[in-house]
Amino acid sequence: MKFDIKQFIRPNVAKMKPYSSARDEFKDFDKEMIFLDANENPFETNVNRYPDPQQRKLKSILSKQKNIPVDQILLGNGSDEVLDLIFRAFCEPSKDNIITLPPTYGMYNVLASLNNIENREVLLDSDFQPDLDEISRIADTRTKLLFFCSPNNPTGNLISSEAILNLLKNFNGLVVIDEAYIDFSEEESWITKLNEFSNLIITQTLSKAYGLAGIRLGICYASSEIISVLNKIKPPYNINELTQQKAIEQLQNVEKVQMEITSLIEEKNQLLKALNEKKFIKKIYPTDANFILIKVDDAEKRYSQLLENGIVVRNRSSQPLCENTLRITIGTPSENEKLITILKEFK
């Protein structure tokens, strides 16, 4: 199937002219200049100037590390902003629809509601894998987006690459793969397939493996055509100066990040062993992420017991296929040790 992105851009977005900021019009940041163009306060505070709206330094580092051209990268105020931009660029409110595969990340549905887009939900199967027949049955000419989350939240598993490949080839719409947890997995990112599939959009984040949830930095990788549409509609200064500085600092320190990831995976394996010995835990789901989903005898009871002992986990029981489940994030070695000690007391 030939995918033509032009057919998917909302007409108002295709027509609109983006806001042009002072920093957009003047691009030569390298030379010493006197900036009297943006009504800023000239006295130095480190953040008295507007940030670079195109985040050139940050993107050039990502570009080198991920081996992808700068014009195929868009940054957002968290992945949540990136996902919202995707809705607003490609989905016509009250006309278009999207497909999501619950149990999965809650923001796809929140953003669909916010943008008044119908969310057609196709439940994952009992192994938390997509139901391809049902997806193709439910998709129609107004289905613009299909969301995969891999590794999936809250289940923790990878989505089968055959299923994703099948839909990249056969679904006539944009396929969004949310890779918030990809750094914890052995599986490689779908970034390497961007040249092959012009309908592919990948989102990543610095909120999980990179330890920077507080700065809000989400990343989108896609064709340069898709990225230019998203660039056109993004708020001009959506990535603040402090975030850009902190992200650059952390990306230049990838060895430290890699060591933390290795340690978290090691910790996860320890915790998995300890959980395995508990009778009240009925099932431990396979995980490629930095969390573990478990099915217990009574989620409400176990949740409260943990809370009484000063440990907060997430009760995911309200999600489809997740009755009596708790999601446990991997903590520091001493936090995990405390959890294991407390669990030993549980009858």
Ligand X SMILES: *Cc1c(COP(=O)(O)O)cnc(C)c1O
Query: Residues in the site for ligand X, rule: CB under 6 A?
Result: 78-80, 105, 149, 153, 178, 180, 205, 207-208, 213, 218
Sorted by sequence, the CB contacts under 8 Å of residue 139 that are 6+ apart come out as 99, 120, 146, 171, 172, 173
Which of residues 91 and 215 has its CB atom nearest to ligand X in the complex? 215
β-partners of residue 100 are 121
Least CB distance to ligand X at residue 11 (A): 29
Q: Are 130 and 84 in contact (CB under 8 A)?
A: no
Do 247 and 215 contact (CB within 8 A), yes or no? yes
Nearest distance in Å: CB 166, ligand X: 21
Least separation in angstroms between CB 17 and ligand X: 28
Least Cβ distance, residue 148 to ligand X (angstroms): 10
Rounded CA-CA distance 142/186 in Å is 35
CB of 240 closer than 8 Å to CB of 299: no
Nearer to ligand X, 224 or 329 (CB): 329
Q: Which is nearer to ligand X, 144 or 208 (CB)?
A: 208
Query: Exposed (0-12), middle (13-18) or buried (19+): which is 135, by Cβ within 10 Å?
Result: buried
Question: What is the SS3 assignment for 296?
Answer: strand
**What tokens were used for 319?**
């999600």
| Burial degree of 159 (CB within 10 A; 0-12, 13-18, 19+) | buried
* Nearest residue relative to ligand X (C-beta): 78
In the complex with ligand X, the residue whose CB is nearer, 72 or 207, is: 207
Name the minimum Å distance from CB 82 to ligand X.
Answer: 8
Bridge partners (DSSP) listed for residue 178: 149, 203
* Smallest gap from residue 287 Cβ to ligand X (A): 13
| CB closer to ligand X out of 205 and 238 | 205
Residue 102 CA: distances (Å) to CA of 275, 277, 313: 25, 29, 20
Q: With respect to ligand X, which residue has the nearer C-beta, 114 or 213? A: 213
Which residue, 153 or 157, has its beta carbon nearer to ligand X? 153
Minimum CB distance to ligand X, residue 52 (Å): 20
| Of residues 167 and 343, the one with the C-beta less far from ligand X | 167
Residue type, 346: F
Question: Shortest approach of ligand X to residue 214 CB, angstroms?
Answer: 10
Q: Which residues of 255-286 are buried (b: 16+ CB within 10 A; e: fewer)?
A: eebeebbeebeebbeebeebbeebeebeebbe
How far apart are the C-alpha atoms of 174 and 159, rounded to whole Å?
Answer: 17
